[in-house]
Chains A and B, each alone.
Chain A
Amino acid sequence: MSQKGKGSAAKPGAAMSQDALLAEASRAVKENAFAMKRSLDEDKLMDALKHAVAMLSELRTSALQPKTYYELYIKVTDELSHLKTVLEDIFEKKGPISDLYELVQYTGNILPRLYLLITVGAVFIETNRVPAKDVLRDLVEMCRGVQHPLRGLFLRNYLLTTVKTLLPEEQTGEGGTIHDSVDFVLLNFAEMNKLWVRMQHQGHSRDRTRREKERLQLRLLVGTNLVRLSQLDNADVDMYKATVLPAVLEQVINCRDPIAQEYLMECIIQVFPDDYHLATLDKLLTACAPLHAQVNVKAIVISLVERLVQFFSQSRADAAATAGVPADVDLYKVFADNIRSLFQARTTMAPEDAVAIQLALMKLTIECYPENLDYVDEIFKNTIDHLKSVGLTTVEPRTAACEQLSLLLRLPLETYPSLTPALKLSSFGNVLSMFSYATRHALAVFTAKKIADSNFAVSTEAEADVVFGELLLPLLGEVEGQPKSFHQDGSFVEEQVVVARVLSLVQGVDLDTQAQILASLKKQLLAGTIHRMRYCVPAHVFKALQLAQGYSDARDDDELWEKKCSKLYSMVRTCVLALAEGELPMLALKLFLQAALVTSTTTFAKSETIAYEFCSQAFSLYEEEVSDSKEQVAAMTLMIGTLQRITCFTEENYTPLITKCALLSSKFVQKPDQCRGVCACANLFWSGKLADSDEELRDGDQVLKCLKKAIKVARSCLEPSTQASLYADIYDAYTSFYIRGCEQVTNTIKEGGGGGVEE
């Protein structure tokens, strides 16, 4: 090959603005178009073609940027369509000009030549003069001559739009078949994509940003091919699977250009129908792995998944639609397998992107296979495995990965109306353990509220393990990274109240299960700090007592019920003592009393002993820990009330207790309290019941003793109004005992017990 000559590369118009260039070119187009039309009017076709060539030559410019070039292109092709119309008219009326296809090819410059050739070719097809397939094939091949990206893209766009309605769509036919049309568009697409990608690599590297911007402006030109393919009537799913998609993907992968790959994948997903995607999921997903490292694969996969999710939820809503989740394809498996290999292939993928993909898959799985929890579980497992494989064992709070992972965890919880399915997920905890405290805590609160709001009852041990051992762990026990002052957090109480509600909802499938759940809960609760116990333990104690009652009610069915009950009571004792040690004497006291009360209703051999123990614990707490006078009064009132209701004591145990009450009441600091206290105690001596009799005690002497003591105290009261009110209270008591038939009291009244009142 020989070489000669060296000239300077002239850049005409480099200094001119785009607008000025466009204006100049447009003027030339207008003039030539005018001349062309005049020649057409005068029936001078050859002259008209000459003017058309002159007009088209304006498109040969290299000075215009894509946007401006596009405007010029629109102007030119507008005029060209006039020529086309006239030619069609001539063909229609006078028959074809057989040489025309050859004639226009004498044009010296390739760009105007090909624009004309396309125009004429379309007229030939339209008038059925030649088989469409031959013309199409010829045109798309000849267009290879334009290798300049911008000019080539627009030329091929003209080709596509001009023959748009002329593509054969029949299965058979002399003019061509659907196969010819598919091949045609595919080839055009491939060539356009090559040109488009090539833009990236031409020119100075400093212009890269501008070039990428320009490329984005041009992407629609390439995408139009795919749109056309999707619109071909007879291009069915089989053809899509066998021909269209493989060809398109080949281009996408081989071009190794991030912009093109990202756009085209998105384009494929958006333009083709859902059932096509369903039939080719594997292919489409497999293609994601080899894409350029800069390609946002996450967005591609997610967009595909979301499209399918939307499709399924729509077809579900529309009951008439036959399309649904295909029975022959396991969508989850296809996705999961491909995602796995995708991760393997793309080691540089950010962890949050990986999780986001799993999140999308989760949505799909829940949409398509709501019954199949193994899938959900597997997604968790795969996610963890992947994160670990990239060296991520904990995700920092407020990172994108953390955000995505929380969403992933929440999704099944939010989705299922009942929590039962979600709790069967064995990998849930593994995911949780990835989080740092703050996130786990937030998730735990979320879950707790969800459980409480849905009135979900934890009913098996396994569930309990998941709920309390994993989900709510940050709210119940020590978790790494928990701040020391967690209990001073503004929402701490609120959270604990929710947890308490969850606890109170616990309802094992049977009594033994419930016992097991409670036993393991006990360990967990007592391991926590007192700040939490304060809220959780009462709930737990009440559950335990409830269970004991349950055992008692079903005593005929279970020989061992006594043993089980004592065990429960012993647990209750331990729990309440823990509270007491934690300087919550009042709370502990109340719980002991409650326990005693319940114990008394579950009569069995040891119930008296146990009830006594509870009561004595309450008394010792009272004596040792309750020092505030108001608290003392309140506590005593409770104790008196409790003792009055308890019926399991023998006299041996009962008398010391009620005597103690009276004694303690009389030792209140405030006189009025003492007065009212002993009045209340009086009731114990009268209406208290013993285990071995159905009768009330009716110990009139003691009653009177108490009342007298009350009067004595009232008398010593200095404040007249207080004294009056005390006397009124005492009078009430007297009256009440009188009504109940207490002789001693009756006598006293006669003796002028009301004297004080009179005073």
Chain B
Amino acid sequence: MAEPILQTTDLVKRFGGLVATDHVSLSLVPGELHAIIGPNGAGKTTLVAQLSGEMAPTAGRVRFDGQDITDLPMPRRARLGLVRSFQITSICPEFSALDNVAMAVQARLGHSFHFWRNARTDPALIMPARRVLEQVDLAARADVPAGLLSHGEQRQLEVAIALATEPKLLLLDEPMAGMGREESQRMVSFLQTLKRRYTILLIEHDMDAVFALADRISVLVYGKVIATGLPDEVRANPEVQHAYLGDEAEEAAAAEAANA
């Protein structure tokens, strides 16, 4: 097995008495698409925050690309190539779609202490930004203020921004969140095209999407990884069925009871 590109060792995050991340040890090999699934409240968001650098773990280490990054803030991690997208769309609403992507290109090209040259006519920023927008099918919407794009388009833009940084590892936090069926399917086929070109850690709720895309799946329940393996192994794992799918069944039953 190749040297892992991302590895967490006994990652723990406590909020008072609550253990949101409970000794999580994950390992991603270059080129794989690894999905993390788990019911609501499993600690997926907290885990993402610790991987991206927004939140410091209580204990444990995170290594990325041969380097310990546990103590690095989010911008430093992003520049090393560990780049995330957000579950709740996070864009600059007044900037055009193109500006949003160009900003990511600008970040990749180094510091932004350039005071004179017009950034909006700088081919070093605009050309790569346009290419990425074409990739995600947003080229026709390049000049629209991002805040006026449809929800689906904003989700595409969210991914485009991450791609424009040319990441070594893409951390996609529920890219299908809030999308309709058709949009979801489009996003799945788009992620399919990214597979192998990028190492991807996909946090996702949509089971169909996860089983269609993932090389390996880790199941997070109450902050703990209860299983990691190939999709079929995970599907067949009785513990997973009980903890995860069972939970959903219980939830569904509860919802029905509430409706009745």
A and B associate in one complex: no
Q: Which residues of B contact A (CB under 8 A)?
A: none
Q: Which residues of A contact B (CB under 8 A)?
A: none
